[in-house]
Amino acid sequence: MFNDPVMLSRLLTGLTLAFHIIFATIGVGVPLMVLAAEYIGIKRKDSDYILLARRWTRGYIVTVAVGVVTGTAIGLQLSLLWPSLMQVAGQTIALPLFMETFAFFFEAIFLGIYLYTWDRFKNPWLHWLIGIPVVIGATLSAFFITTVNSFMNSPEGFKIVNGTLTQIEPLKAMFNTATPTKATHVIVSAYLTVAFILAAIAAFHLLRKKTLSAAETAYHKKALRLTVMAGLIFAFSTALVGDFSGKYLAKYQPEKLAAAEWHFETTNEAELIFGGILDEQADGSYEIKGAVKIPYALSILAGGAPDTEVIGLNEFAKEDQAPLFVHYFFDIMVSIGMYLAAISALFILAFRLKKLNPYNKWLLRGIFIGGPLAIVSIEAGWMYAEIGRQPWTLYGIMRTADAATTSTAVGPMLILFSLLYLLLGTICTVVLLRMFKNNPVGKELADDHHTRGEAMF
Ligand code: HEB
């Protein structure tokens, strides 16, 4: 395995994407939360929310910088590791790749202006307005780059003549069948993840209550309420859009859904298999052991009705099937999605009904682990989407094995890039920790009252 360039290329690309997606996700979601905090701050004339927006923006700049490095690594690796893919599809996907860079610069320019104009306007809404293009740019880069991934699942907008793509229609390729569901699921799940990462930070501080002043406690409680409310909204929208993704798969890539659900025979009233293990029988078929089976749920996921027919894996040749372990990635993603919806609903209910203390230790702990779990969910979602598309790199057109480089240099590259990501990850963590430790909330809250006070409004 370790001298097979295809496997090594997949490992290196997978590693790069797994690392990049954390920063990309943060990059998509933070501007929206910043804008929400600044909005409430201006509206309620509450400088705590403004401080929240400022602190989130500062952290954001560090993660954006890492995202730029890893994003560049992806660009490099695409042409180095997957030359045949780029040769065949490069022209077709050039438009969204270019548009993504454009969206990024658009975002970066306005982020710069946003950063340098805090307190510069008499009317604070002007500063808030500058944040809007930052949110749009961040979300559009996610949109454009996801259309490229959608294209790999639904390659459209060209004809193949003698192995080369001709009559290319870039817009058709970009707005392919997979684009609507994929782009929305990716964008909304990024918002969800960031809401939970920020909620986890607030919960973390509140859990160490003893060291907090009253002003600090009030600050973190505001952060928690805002982020968990956003978490609740985005958890439900992610699940809704995820359901559309399921329906897309059932219709256009049924073997991908069947692999996730260990659904072998085509049936109506299909049950959803959760967890369990596969036991291979002598005749090559499988028996599912120890799974929870939810009646009709797969039919509902696939077609919205309990009697929808769901195509089984046995309809497909073995060499066209994805590895069956993708089942676990799907289960992990969905379970975490449910957990995030439940814990945020519980917090908001407790807060609204005032029967249960929303800031009790257990709820705070539950929200705290929601942050890392959301990241796991993002990773699991992508693992499912990418490994579940195998053996294809361009679904139905080009196999992954035919797309990879034959170079023998991938092994050393894998080691080098692993070291690079380790270094980047460490530096980023250290910088963020230092930045926030050296300038704690308490100090800034105190400064706030002395120097800026209410004068900033
Ligand atoms: Fe998800 C993917 C569903 C949740 C993230 N998802 C996916 C898919 C599906 C789903 C079907 C595949 C698609 C394709 O491949 O085309 N989800 C779902 C559901 C739910 C979910 C049903 C509910 C619960 N997710 C979720 C969460 C998250 C996610 C929570 C995070 C946070 N996913 C994700 C991602 C992905 C997915 C990132 C990859 C991309 C795409 O879209 O593909």
Token digits for 193?
A: 């993840």
Q: What is the 3-state secondary structure (H, E, C) of 27-95?
A: HHHHHHHHHHHHHHHHHHCCHHHHHHHHHHHHHHHHHHHHHHHHHHHHHHHHHHHCHHHHHHHHHHHHH
- Nearest 5°: the CA angle 368, 373, 375 is 115
Q: What ipTM was reported for this prediction?
A: 0.91
Token digits for 22?
A: 């954390």
Q: Which of 245, 331, 392 to mutate to test the pocket of ligand 1 (most atoms within 8 A of CB)?
A: 245
Backbone torsions φ then ψ of 263, nearest 5 degrees: -105, 100
What pLDDT is recorded for position 332?
97
Q: Quick one: which atom of ligand 1 is closest to the CA of 185?
A: 42
Minimum CA distance residue for ligand 1 atom 7: 381
Nearest to 89 by CA among 165, 163, 153: 165
Q: Which of 189, 339, 373 to mutate to test the pocket of ligand 1 (most atoms within 8 A of CB)?
A: 189
Give the Å distance between the CA of 185 and the centre of ligand 1: 6
End-to-end CA distance of the chain: 63
Give the Å distance between the CA of 242 and the centre of ligand 1: 5
Nearest to 233 by CA among 183, 194, 178, 202: 194
From first to last of the 457 residues of the chain, give the pLDDT tens digit.
667 888 888 999 999 999 999 999 999 999 999 999 999 999 999 999 999 999 999 999 999 999 989 988 888 888 888 888 887 788 888 899 899 999 999 999 999 999 999 888 889 999 999 999 999 999 999 999 999 999 999 999 888 887 777 888 889 999 999 999 999 999 999 999 999 999 999 999 999 877 888 889 999 999 999 999 999 999 999 999 999 999 999 999 999 999 999 999 999 999 999 998 888 888 878 888 888 999 999 999 999 899 999 999 999 998 899 999 999 999 999 999 999 999 999 999 999 888 888 899 999 999 999 999 999 999 999 999 999 999 999 898 888 888 888 777 888 889 999 999 999 999 999 999 998 988 888 888 877 654 444 433 3
Burial of 430 (0-12, 13-18, 19+ CB in 10 A): exposed
Minimum CA distance residue for ligand 1 atom 23: 239
What pLDDT is recorded for position 451?
47
What pLDDT is recorded for position 444?
83
Q: Quick one: which atom of ligand 1 is closest to the CA of 388?
A: 15
Give the Å distance between the CA of 450 and the centre of ligand 1: 47
What pLDDT is recorded for position 2?
63
What pLDDT is recorded for position 212?
85
Q: Quick one: which atom of ligand 1 is closest to the CA of 385?
A: 15
Instruction: Please answer whether residues 301 and 355 qualify as being in contact, where contact means their C-beta atoms are separated by less than 8 angstroms.
Output: no
Which residues, 6+ apart, have CB-to-CB distance to 401 below 8 Å? 6, 391
In the chain, domain spans: 5-236+397-456
How many C-beta atoms lie closer than 10 Å to residue 363's C-beta? 21
Q: What is the DSSP letter of 379?
A: H
Instruction: Please answer whether residues 198 and 223 qualify as being in contact, where contact means their C-beta atoms are separated by less than 8 angstroms.
Output: yes
Nearest to 146 by CA among 97, 101, 84, 79: 97
Burial per residue of 75-95, b for 16 or more beta-carbon CB atoms within 10 angstroms, e otherwise: eebbebbbbebbebbebbbeb
Token digits for 424?
A: 């980047």
Q: Which residues line ligand 1 (CB under 6 A)?
A: 153, 178, 182, 185-186, 189, 192-193, 238-239, 242-243, 245-246, 249, 333-334, 336-338, 374, 377-378, 381-382, 384-385, 388
- Name residue 342's amino acid: A
Q: Mutual orientation of helices 326-353 and 214-252 as an angle, nearest 10°?
A: 140
Kindly write down the DSSP assignment for every residue of 129-179, as one continuous string.
HHHHHHHHHHHHHHHHHHHHHHHHHS--S-EEETTEEES--HHHHHT-TTH
Q: Quick one: which atom of ligand 1 is closest to the CA of 249?
A: 16
Q: Which of 185, 263, 376 to mutate to test the pocket of ligand 1 (most atoms within 8 A of CB)?
A: 185
> Any idea of the CA torsion for 41, 45, 47, 50, to the nearest 10 degrees?
20
